[in-house]
Structure formats: C-alpha cells, structure tokens
Amino acid sequence: MSERTPALVMGIGNLLWADEGFGLRCLESLHLRFDVPAGVELLDGGTQGMYLVNAVADAERLLVFDAIDYGLAPGTLKLVRDDEVPRFAGVRKMSLHQTGFQEVLLAAAMLEKSPAKVTLVGVQLGTMDDFGGTLSQAVAAALEPALEAGVDELAAWGFPLTRRAAPAAHPVFAQALARDRYEQERPGPDVVCREGDARFLNVRAKRLGE
C-alpha cells in the first residue's frame, strides 16, 4: 500500500475561459510566493475530472481552489469545509462530458479513502464566456484573500508556509501560461473570435452587420 499524501493543494479550472482560471491562478501564486514544506504537494487539477480520483483518494487532507457558481456577487469568496464541500465543488460544467469535482469526491468515498479534511476556497465567478480571456476585475481582486485563506488553512493543519525571498524560478505549469506572460501575449478580440468559433456562431458576421 502506497503512503498517503499528508496534504494536497489542488487548483481546478481552465485558464482559457476567463474566471474559470481562478483556481489555477491561486495555485500559481502559492507556488511562486511560498516555500512548500515536506508533506505538502501542489497539483494542477485543470479539467481532468475523474483522472483526479487517485490523487484525491491518496490525500489525507485536501485544499481546493476553484471558481464556483454560488449565486452571489462576482468575486465573493466563500470557504466550505468537509461534508459541505460536495454541495459546492464543481457545481457547473462546461460541457455534458465534463465530470464535476463532486463526482471525484464521491468516487474517492466509494474507494473508502476520502481525505479526513477537505477545504474548498471558492470564488463566485463572473465572466465565463470569454475564450482566451483573463480573470475579471472582481475575481482577480479575490486572489489575495483566497491565497491568505489557503495559507491559514494549511497552517491550521500543521503545515505552516514560509514566504520565498524571491519568486520561484519555474511556474507550476507551462511558462507560456504564466499569468503575466499570458495576459501580455494573448490576442485581443480584434484578432481572434473570443466568444466561440465564428464559423459556427457567426459572431463576427453579426458584428459587421450591426
């Protein structure tokens, strides 16, 4: 039997869909600004769905950053813990084939290897239909308090983080997706269709006709 991960920190979402990237931006900021102690692992959960089951099942404690539709004002931060998490985690899906994170938690429970502690640091998303877009202003403003909440939670679990003297040399995911570079180099709506595929949605044709 493999040894379980004492604490797993996971970011969930899709960087290419505006506020959907919130969870991953939290993970990125945590990695860049803090040294992670032994026993804590960081994981880019992306949109992997059920492929995350083994990682979740092997974790003793799980901290998740994600953008959630709570029905609140965009940018509102909400912490949910333990048994309450499945009610909120991954409540919206980008497509019919995408597995919500609550199904991942359920699958781990069926394996009888659920984490003893689970905390979801979630933000109310605002913009989701801007393909290639970045975080909306309200959601971007929630990054810092979300990070503080995550750091406090890890400390309460016995894993205090120390701030790096300088940012980490390597990003937690591909350099091209690092926030600063992504926001500087992504094409604007005048270059590419950012609301879907214009061949099918005829977005540009509609705009030109207005």
pLDDT of residue 86: 67
Q: What is the pTM of this model?
A: 0.81
Residues 6+ apart with CB under 8 A from 161: 30, 34, 35, 36, 37, 40, 151, 154, 155
- For 113-139, the DSSP string reads ---SEEEEEEEE------BTB---HHH
pLDDT of residue 200: 47
Sole residue written with tokens 């913009």? 127
**Alpha carbon of residue 90 to chain centroid:** 10
Helix axes 22-33, 143-156, angle to 10 degrees: 60
pLDDT of residue 195: 61
Residue 14 CB neighbour total at 10 angstroms: 18
pLDDT tens-digit profile of 18-54? 898 999 999 999 999 999 999 999 999 887 778 888 8
What stretches in the chain show pLDDT beneath 70?
A: 1-2, 86-99, 174-176, 182, 184-189, 191-210
List domains and CATH numbers for the chain. 7-172 (3.40.50.1450)
Q: How far apart are CA 202 and CA 69, in angstroms?
A: 28
